[in-house]
Amino acid sequence: MNLIVGATGLLGSEICRLLAAEDKPVRALVRPTSDQIKVAQLESLNIEIARGDLKDRPSLDAACQGMTAVISTASSTLSRQEGDSIHTVDLEGQLNLVDAAKAANISRFVLISFPPVDAEFPLQAAKRRVEEHLKSSGLTYSILQPTFFMEVWLSPALGFDAANAKAQIYGSGENKISWISYKDVAKFAVASLDNPEASNAVIELGGPEALSPLEVVRAFEELQGRKFDVQHVPEEALKEQSEGASDPLQQSFAGLMLYYSQGDIIDMRKTLQNFPVRLTSIADYARASS
């Protein structure tokens, strides 16, 4: 049975759906305070529910009992509740989960992270420390490092409002990014459970093509037949925001925006030879969201 941590989140719920569709047994770790509608959706897929919290080690030990694999997508960045922080969830909570999995003799641990960034910020420090702890744990691991989720970074929440033809661009918008769909990341996570190429591997993930944010805007403009109102957040402003922020989450968001401004191109050719996933393109996403 597979334990999914972060099961009510965007990526975690998709992983649960894919596993259920393949009739693979799933246990979802959900918090007592989780959205009950999302929990009910998991239950409708015949997914077993375990109540617990990354901040509560005994609940992790209980959730790991009888499991053969763990997939962790959990993070405090998008869904925060009282007591949640990068330190308590993304660092200590994930370290607790690795230790609980090891104590339960789990055979596979799949961790969702992101590629190394040429900047220092709390979320990256937490991710890198957890990755190293997992590597040294003795567990068979797969560390997946996807770039920017198109459904998150090309959404109104972060200033990309396709419905109203408005786009906020971080930096010059000229550096290329290998945007990826969270649904494709879910496919890689599920495939990593039994693909030998994923054993004790760190795999960077990107989409089928690298496009700059301005090229993404042009793709949407061509599809919609109208010009977008484009506003830039200068890279210097992002650096000032990062240096001036006192909250670790604000520092981390500024760091991720700087990462976006610098771009990141992932060559997926070798990975796709080992994982036959049909990657979602920006054009696919633009059509679906327009």
Query: Per residue in 249-287, pLDDT tens?
Result: 999 999 999 999 999 999 999 999 999 899 999 999 999
Quick one: how far is CA 192 from the chain centroid? Answer: 15
Burial string for 34-63 (b: 16+ CB within 10 Å, else e) reads beeebbeebeeeebebbebbbbebebbbbb
Query: Per residue in 91-125, pLDDT tens?
Result: 999 999 999 999 999 999 999 999 999 989 999 99
Query: Per residue in 21-45, pLDDT tens?
Result: 999 999 999 998 888 999 999 999 9
**Sign of the four-CA dihedral 86, 88, 93, 95:** positive
Q: Give the per-residue pLDDT at 80.
A: 66
Confidence of residue 175 (pLDDT cuts 50, 70, 90): very high
Burial string for 146-163 (b: 16+ CB within 10 Å, else e) reads bbbbbbebbeeebebbbe
DSSP 168-186: EEETTS-S-B--B-HHHHH
For range 194-204, the mean pLDDT: 97
Burial class (CB in 10 A: 0-12, 13-18, 19+), 226: exposed
Residue 280 phi/psi, 5-degree rounding, is -80, 130
Global confidence as pTM: 0.95
Q: Are 144 and 138 in contact (CB under 8 A)?
A: no
Q: What is the mean pLDDT of the chain?
A: 95
Q: How far apart are CA 210 and CA 127, in angstroms?
A: 24
* Fold entry, domain 2-147+181-206+265-279: Rossmann fold (3.40.50)
Query: Per residue in 277-288, pLDDT tens?
Result: 999 999 999 999
- Which positions ≥6 away from 54 have C-beta within 8 Å? 5, 60, 74, 88, 89, 92, 93, 94, 96, 97
What count of residues does the chain have? 290
Q: Are 136 and 215 in contact (CB under 8 A)?
A: no
Residue 79 confidence (pLDDT) above 80: no
Q: Are 147 and 206 in contact (CB under 8 A)?
A: yes
Q: Which residues make beta-bridge pairs with 49? A: 28
Per-domain residue ranges of the chain:
2-147+181-206+265-279
Question: Within 10 A of 138 (CB to CB), how many other CB atoms are there?
Answer: 8
